[in-house]
Amino acid sequence: MSKIKPAKGAPYARILGVGGYRPTRVVPNEVILETIDSSDEWIRSRSGIQTRHWANDEETVAAMSIEASGKAIADAGITAEQVGAVIVSTVTHFKQTPAVATEIADKLGTNRAAAFDISAGCAGFGYGLTLAKGMIVEGSAEYVLVIGVERLSDLTDLEDRATAFLFGDGAGAVVVGPSNEPAIGPTIWGSEGDKSETIKQTVPWTDYREGEVERFPAITQEGQAVFRWAVFEMAKVAQQALDAAGIAASDLDVFIPHQANERIIDSMVKTLKLPESVTVARDVRTTGNTSAASIPLAMERLLATGEAKSGDTALVIGFGAGLVYAASVVTLP
């Protein structure tokens, strides 16, 4: 018989607060058109994107995360010292080690919180949320800070007509803490590594370091393949998340998908047969695709504008490079 004592965590976990940070520079499509042969009408019709935010030198991954996290901590009504773990999802922290989460945890003033980075692309927020939920229920932390942050402008090839207009920068954060009732449903997550070539970095860092290529690595993707996968396969995953939570589409108040492309969002809404009463996040129009940051940024904006309210039931789903995905039903803070 095991001598290990059982965990003494909370019965359930919930999102208690949310915060976001968008860089000060707003970049309209006209700027993108300086380096690709396209048009504003084409970009809007293919993606829904009108503007995006690009970070300046001071708006680092850490700096943006700290701004968003401070808002989330205040929104949750706790102090930074109460945060027991910091999880950062990003693919644009260019130091292999140490994790940027450790710098963030220190500068926020946490009391030596556990801190680590994860790399799960556009599904990273969902991965982090699932890990945080487990920590709360297991009892290894009372409050967990989950951050999605990207400076994708650093990995954008401005001459690539297929991707130059897609990406933006920003940070979104949530505080996850204890709950007496279910408020984060089961996660439906997974990967399809056989499709890893559809979204990828152009070349490894070593090729650039060794002079085998002169061009700095960037993100590239097979647009049509990604679109088909997201529309058909991710709608199935979203439905599985609804089923796992015991929620029907008609029970939803809000739908917050990864802000990859408005056409993908529209197709998912149609496939899931969401009623018109469901508020759908369309932050992609003015923020672009911010990968791991897109769901918390969209969540923060919906709550700030009053389009969604505290206590609403929301379906969230992230999907992207890997290919990886994660979906769950949550109660909004």
* 218 and 202 Cβ atoms separated by less than 8 Å: yes
Tokens of 206: 């070593």
- Please give the positions annotated as active site: 122, 258, 289
* 61 and 151 Cβ atoms separated by less than 8 Å: yes
- Could you tell me where the DSSP H helices lie in 20-141? 29-32, 40-47, 61-76, 100-108, 124-138
Alpha carbons 306 and 308: distance in angstroms, whole number: 5
Q: Which of these, 226, 178, 189, lies nearest to 9 by C-alpha position?
A: 178
Tokens of 17: 């607060």
Per-residue exposure over 161-173, b if at least 16 CB sit within 10 Å of its own CB, e if not? eebbbbbbbbbbb
Strand, coil or helix: 275: coil
Per-residue exposure over 52-89, b if at least 16 CB sit within 10 Å of its own CB, e if not? bbbbeeebbbbbbbbbbbbbbbebbebebebbbbbbbb
Q: Which of these, 27, 98, 37, 93, lies nearest to 63 by C-alpha position?
A: 93
Q: First-to-last CA distance in the chain? A: 41
**Strands, E, within the chain: which ranges?**
12-21, 25-28, 51-54, 83-89, 114-118, 143-151, 169-179, 188-191, 199-201, 219-221, 254-257, 279-280, 313-320, 324-331
* 144 and 136 Cβ atoms separated by less than 8 Å: yes
Alpha carbons 18 and 210: distance in angstroms, whole number: 42
